Amino acid sequence: MRIATWNVNSITARLPRLMAWLESTGTDVLCIQETKCSAEQFPYEELRQLGYEAAVNADGRWNGVALLSKVGLEDVVKGLPGGPDYEGAQEPRAISATCGPARVWSVYVPNGREVDHAHYAYKLQWFEALKAAVAEDAAGSRPFAVLGDYNVAPTDDDVWDISVFDGATHVTPAERAALAALRDAGLTDVVPRPLKYDHPFTYWDYRALGFPKNKGMRIDLVYGNEPFAKAVSDAYVDREERKGKGASDHAPVVVDLEV
């Protein structure tokens, strides 16, 4: 089974590329972040024609997550159970479902903005809620993974120049401690480093020639439990999909499982 995660940065803008990518890669399950459309506006029919069921948690603003599956889509849970509100509402940043033999989450972790911003405290609270919500599945015997845009670079090697990030979010000890807490709950980063590239970044800013200069970050992650990790036969960042006109600022991360 091939499972992937991709922050598409607007599914409407990215739909032709998304559909071509799905056809060319034979992906069975795709976790999507940043749909930037409402659930009603989601392109269900176009994706159904390719054989995909879709489950969506989106409200039309800049967030929104989805799951696409060719191998079943059962026991869907929209939202983060016990998750915090921001400005009086729970943002659509999580969705989970059983897809064939595996249970998967698609998550879009809050950005945090700045260390002294309320959104940063919200981000850390969100991570705490995520850890609590996934603990039972992480400890189970079924393959289980949380895939998505974590908005945290796990190590200094996961950013193009750590000195540029001095005092900034995405690399702070508290954010990295939140990732460590997920690992303590029974999850591990299943995408090895190095891969094909010395620095397998997953995100490059559109500005200042970020991608051509490889000024990137590895913030799109696949955290799986032991049964999931043991089933991984291959994993890669599809850097080619970041190239060309109309690309998202994130590349897909792909994991193959023998299940």
Alpha-carbon separation of residue 186 from 42, 130, 182, 256 (angstroms)? 33, 13, 7, 20
Asked if residue 149 belongs to a known ligand binding site, the reply is yes
Q: Which helix (H) or strand (E) holds 119?
A: helix 118-138
Q: What is the DSSP letter of 235?
A: E
What is the spatial distance between Cα 91 and Cα 82, in angstroms, rounded to a whole number?
A: 12
Say which of 108, 120, 203, 223 is annotated catalytic.
Answer: 108
Alpha-carbon separation of residue 52 from 16, 124, 196 (angstroms)? 15, 33, 29
Residue 149 annotated in active site: yes
Residue 117 annotated in active site: no
Question: Beta-strand (E) ranges in 34-131?
Answer: 53-57, 65-69, 74-78, 94-99, 102-108
Say which of 28, 137, 149, 220 is annotated catalytic.
Answer: 149
What is the spatial distance between Cα 123 and Cα 99, in angstroms, rounded to a whole number?
A: 27
Asked if residue 57 belongs to a known ligand binding site, the reply is no
Asked if residue 9 belongs to a known ligand binding site, the reply is no
Token pair 């191998």 is found at 71
Asked if residue 225 belongs to a known ligand binding site, the reply is no
Asked if residue 151 belongs to a known ligand binding site, the reply is yes
First to last CA, the chain: 7
Asked if residue 7 belongs to a known ligand binding site, the reply is yes
Say which of 158, 189, 203, 250 is annotated catalytic.
Answer: 250
Binding-site residue ranges: 7, 34, 149, 151, 249-250
Catalytic residues, which ones? 108, 149, 250
Binding-site residue ranges for Mg(2+): 7, 34, 149, 151, 249-250
